[in-house]
Amino acid sequence: MELTPTHLPLLPQPTRPLSSTSCPPELSRQQLGNYQLIRLLARGGCAEVYLGQHVHLNRYAAIKVVKTALSSEKLELFRQEARIVAHLHHPHIISIFDFDVEDDTPFLVMEYACHGTLRKRHPHGTILSPAAVLSYLKPVAEALQYAHDRHLIHCDVKPENMLIGQDDEILLSDFGIAVIHDSTDWQAARDIVGTLSYIAPEQLGGEPCQASDQYSLGIVAYEWLCGQCPFRGSSGEIVAQHVKATPPSLCEQIPTLPPRIEQVVLKALAKDPEQRHLSVQAFVREFEAALTGSGLAGSNHLRLANTRHETSAGLPDIDDAATTYATASAVASLAVQRPGLPAQRGRRHPISRRTLFKSIAGLASAGLASGSLLWLLHTHLSAMPPPSSIRREMVALVYRGHHNAVRGLMWSPNEAFVASASADKTVQVWNISQSDVYVYVYTGHTDAVNAVAWSYDGLHIASGSSDRTVQVWDASDGSNAVKYQGHGDTVTSVTWSLDDQYIASASYDKTVRLWNTVDGNNISTYTGHSDAVLAVAWSPDGSLIASASADQTVQLWNPAEGMTLLTLTGHSGAVHTVAWSPNHHYIASGGSDSTVRVWDATTGSLLYTYGNHSDTVLAVTWSPDGSRIASAGADRTVQVWGALDGSHVTTFTGHKDAVNALGWSPRDGGQFIASGSSDTTVQIWYAL
């Protein structure tokens, strides 16, 4: 079901601030001007963006709020951004509705793009057909050319700043850097959300020009064509490559790509701005000419990702594939170094453009100095054999810390850790680069732990148990545990809302309860099922909840009102598991009838049934790009298959008992699948 801004659900508002770390004290009343703040949409270096609703007109908008106190000089720069962007009237540029300062808190009221970003639609590693790439390049180039004609340079062109509006139109956002690019102090505070991957060589030297935006758009086109940016490595290595390295050949990576398209893209990536296309629109016109001339217009010969232009039998028009952990800005990992958690190293990290301008050496050190754990996984992966050298059935590692059945598991948002829940009454958090030891064991439950869920910001973990409680604690060390009580029977499943403000828990007591994580209150209870609720999943866009039950149904409902919107019937036995596609348009459910059924979440229609399992299906999960589904169950297998039509890809057969839980690694295209079993192990497989 596609929800427009006028139909967005409003969850009951907590009586305290949205979050002690995400909302300035001045916002404790959760209203700025005439706009009520509803939920956090994105977080940047010194600003946050909230979904807001006009208290009189019921109109939705994005509210950009500065988190820190500003000097009078910086406040004027913020006003300057508002003034200039407000005069950019273009169908592919986000509109500014209002600007004000309330209680020393500056805020912008902007058009709300309800379908997220192109990065969310097409996560890292996604490959698009040239026709699909062109469909995005056109509106972005039109917006950039409009700005260039008014002597503005965007300076931060990347998929994260390309938003998707209500009618699926592409909207370019974040012109703040362009407006104030001469003020490096302000940049240092606000530009941490960017990465080095898209910055033109001359911009690294502090001299951006209009052709710099063309270079950045060329990097985006390159990435979409082959699935990765041309320059990778540490911060210093990326800088050096931007300055002097030739991008790897696209045609060598994609033999079916016409050489003319490669030539057009590489011209946009010329080191000298004078050697690029005459304008950003000229670049896109040349791209279109190369595409049309090759006869590939509308081609779908690259099926690793699908766009609105590509359809196939089974799942029609799977677009805007989104990561489970996406918001407009990158999901935070465990933010503070704690005892027992190893430090990160070895991979690039977003850094400020001010640091870039100072020196390449400074860039490299700044890129690796963070105390977070965001890139720890890379160290482990570098020690693994490359995927091309291993068999599909090979397991990457086995974790043996539990002494009873593993019933639930989840990857940390940074992909460095796994939390596994067990009938041994524990949740164990372990580092996948040291799978023979755990980081810590959470022992707060008094009975079997059936479910575990990591918050989207990586800071907390929730678990559900046969002791009838939901418990939430600090993800770094298991401290500061809070117990939610109210269920009358075993808790079977837990899930977080996108903004981490709410938890939904399912139970044998036939209900799903919603909890406010700010104060721990049970704010509502869903009672639509007539038998035990065995699984619950919050949609990736935060608007709906799907619950699966022993009453043989999956029900889709509005978390704000508890209203049942769709009831999916077709399973001939209890439904044990349910999962949303990353783009929230489809649902997969598995049950005692040994099948997985894939549904259209908008209409409730059954698209197809996957029937390769020989016993009850207990777990199902989607790949981050939405192209594949993994399912597992009592037949002891983990099966991977194409989401488009259910075509079988591979089967993993290493477990010795029923497989109860699955999790696809959330980053880098989903390289691994973790499975938890009644054989007491968690096994991690190469998802080739």
Owner of token pair 């880098």: 668
Owner of token pair 């059924």: 597
Geometric angle at alpha carbon 435, from 434 and 439, rounded to 5°: 75
Residues 184 and 217: beta-carbon distance below 8 Å: no
- Residue 116's contacts (CB-CB under 8 Å, 6 or more residues apart) are 163, 164, 320, 322, 326, 328, 541
**Which string of DSSP letters, residue by residue, matches 76-119?**
HHHHHHHHHHHT---TTBPPEEEEEEETTEEEEEE---TT-BHH
Instruction: Report how far residue 462's alpha carbon sits from residue 393's, in angstroms, rounded to the nearest whole number.
Output: 32
SS3 for 470? strand
Strand partners, 641: 629, 648
Question: 592: exposed, middle or buried (C-beta count within 10 Å: 0-12, 13-18, 19+)?
Answer: buried
Strand partners, 623: none
Sign of the torsion angle spanned by Cα atoms 176, 180, 181, 186: negative
Instruction: Report how far residue 105's alpha carbon sits from residue 108's, in angstroms, rounded to the nearest whole number.
Output: 10
Strand partners, 648: 641
Question: 63: exposed, middle or buried (C-beta count within 10 Å: 0-12, 13-18, 19+)?
Answer: buried
- Residue 575's contacts (CB-CB under 8 Å, 6 or more residues apart) are 534, 535, 548, 549, 550, 552, 553, 554, 589, 590, 591, 592
- Tell how strand 105-110 and strand 60-66 pair up: antiparallel
Strand partners, 570: none
213 is catalytic: no
Active-site entry in 103, 104, 149, 156: 156
Instruction: Report how far residue 274's alpha carbon sits from residue 411's, in angstroms, rounded to the nearest whole number.
Output: 46
Residues 314 and 644: beta-carbon distance below 8 Å: yes
In angstroms, what is the C-alpha Rg of the chain?
24
Residue 521 CB neighbours (<10 A): 15
Give the catalytic positions in this structure: 156
